[in-house]
Amino acid sequence: MNFRLTSAAEVEFSDAALFLLEKSPQAALSFVDEIIEAIEEIAKYPNRYVIYEDDVRVCRTHIHPYSIFYQIRADHVLILSISHDSREEKYWKDRL
């Protein structure tokens, strides 16, 4: 299945990568790789991950403390948020 990121999710992804890049290029590369792999897994097996609320599912990463919130649409997976686990819960709900 194809996937799309909301513009806000794209910003979250790039902001996190840039933040990590300032601290450690290796950490940034590891983060980017992990998020891309997770999104590819979500697209391949969208029903694998648990329902977070209503029709929103969540995939939690293992190396970096991030969660990917998404919805399964008719012809694609929509990535709503790529958020650090310390962020306020459900701040992304206005993206539904």
pLDDT of residue 88: 76
pLDDT of residue 87: 80
Helices 7-23 and 25-44 pack at an angle, to 10 degrees, of 150
Alpha helices in 1-96 (DSSP H): 7-23, 25-44
pLDDT of residue 6: 96
Q: Which of the listed CATH numbers 3.40.50.720, 1.10.10.10, 3.30.2310.20, 3.40.630.40 matches domain 2-88?
A: 3.30.2310.20
pLDDT by 10-residue block (mean), the chain, 96 residues: 96 97 97 98 97 96 96 97 86 71
Look at residue 94 and give its three-state secondary structure: helix
Query: Which pTM value belongs to this model?
Result: 0.91
pLDDT of residue 5: 97
Q: Which residues pair with 67 in a beta bridge?
A: 60, 83
Question: What tokens appear for 94 in the block?
Answer: 């206005």
Give the residue from 17, 2, 9, 1 showing the smallest Cα distance to 69. 9
